Amino acid sequence: MLTTNPTVQGTLASVSSSLLFSLMFLFGLFMQPLSGTQVASWRILMMLLSLVLLVSATKQWQHVFDYLKTLKTPKEWLLFVLPTPILGGQIWLFMWGPVNGFGLDVTLGYFLLPLVMILIGRFFYRESMSRLQWVAAICAAMGIGYDLWQYGSISWVTLFTCFGYPPYYLLRRKLAVPPITGLLSDLTLLTPVVLIMLYFNGGFGMAAQSTTLWYLLPLLGGFSALAMSLTMVASSKLPVSLFGALSYLEPMLLFVFSITVLNQSLDEGGSLFMYVMITLALVSMITESVLAYITRKRNNRLHGYHEPQVDSFPPQRRIKKRRIKGVLAAHRFRKLKRYQRKIDRINRKNDQLPFK
């Protein structure tokens, strides 16, 4: 059957995830009179609730606890907690931007994000870049450079969006944090902050007074959890080249919604020349991803492989070793604890024996 094909399943999951994230981009309009900051705060709370239900339904709590047991030193805990404010800022900007006239700026940041990741891979991880990737990077640099020369600056929203996520991903990958574990910890740590914010800015009272928000808020959390779950499914089933090409669907939808629904003009997000250069960069990136997917599929067929060969950024060899080492450490921890309980039980029985 068609639906049993991992590539088809991954493609459907990726497209569905992009549609859900694009709809969440507009939730601030539907949830007025809540401000963008209040919507972002409620989204974090609803995401946490939905994720807890998801982890409970899939019985993954043991995996979460197993990983947390592998964090031993204060440095590891610091690296584990450090990305949380970055994610909080990105969630806030994603919900705040559209209702405050920065929809196109957020969209441009998501267009540039994959190019920033490629450049980080080239200069920090010494990865090679294909010709089409170089063409994409040069086109994007020309577009951004023109706007800097013409207007003297570029939106801080765009810069925060495209340069904020790479440190988050790199810090998470440094400790090989599983996606669900990392997201669950981030939302848990952010919860006290957003509760305080909602208390002082009146978010609780406004949500209680509006009956519309009673179903929109759970819907926002459900969309968030479902979209993130579908993204993880897509990343596990698709080759990285095809997954990368499909990831451009979300910013394209955000761009369309910014022009049509949010009624923004192109001049608000940048010059026409910059958008032309960004479009050329996107075409180059999508072409490179599709060609890489076709080449890999042909090579796999020639070598007798039928399952998709999934790669990721940055190189996974060291990350996999660290992850395996961490899981083994957690397994040894459980075995030692179990043996210690047995020894304690035997000692208690010995103490109860009547020695003469």
pLDDT at 2: 47
Q: How confident is the model at residue 189 (pLDDT cuts 50, 70, 90)?
A: very high
Q: How confident is the model at residue 42 (pLDDT cuts 50, 70, 90)?
A: confident
Say if residues 133 and 285 touch (Cβ distance below 8 Å): yes
Determine the residue type at 74. Answer: P
Higher-pLDDT residue of 341 and 270 is 341
Interior/surface letters 151-184, b for 16+ CB within 10 angstroms, e for the rest: eeebbebbbbbbebbbebbbbbbbbbbbebbbbb
What is the DSSP code (8-state) at residue 262?
Answer: S
Given a cut of 60, is residue 355 above it in pLDDT? Answer: no
pLDDT in tens, 142-184: 877 777 777 666 788 888 888 888 888 788 878 888 878 888 8
Q: How confident is the model at residue 326 (pLDDT cuts 50, 70, 90)?
A: low
Complete DSSP assignment for 327-348: HHHHHHHHHHHHHHHHHHHHHH
pLDDT at 310: 42
What is the DSSP code (8-state) at residue 70?
Answer: T
Say if residues 50 and 281 touch (Cβ distance below 8 Å): no
pLDDT at 266: 67
Mean local confidence (pLDDT), 6-22: 80
Given a cut of 70, is residue 309 above it in pLDDT? Answer: no
Given a cut of 80, is residue 353 above it in pLDDT? Answer: no
What six digits make up the tokens of 175? 């400790």
Q: How confident is the model at residue 268 (pLDDT cuts 50, 70, 90)?
A: low
> What average pLDDT does the structure give for the chain?
76
Given a cut of 50, is residue 316 above it in pLDDT? Answer: no
Integer angstrom CA distances of residue 255 from 4, 109, 325: 33, 11, 43
Given a cut of 90, is residue 282 above it in pLDDT? Answer: no
What six digits make up the tokens of 122? 């080239």
Closest by alpha carbon to 25, among 134, 130, 100?
100
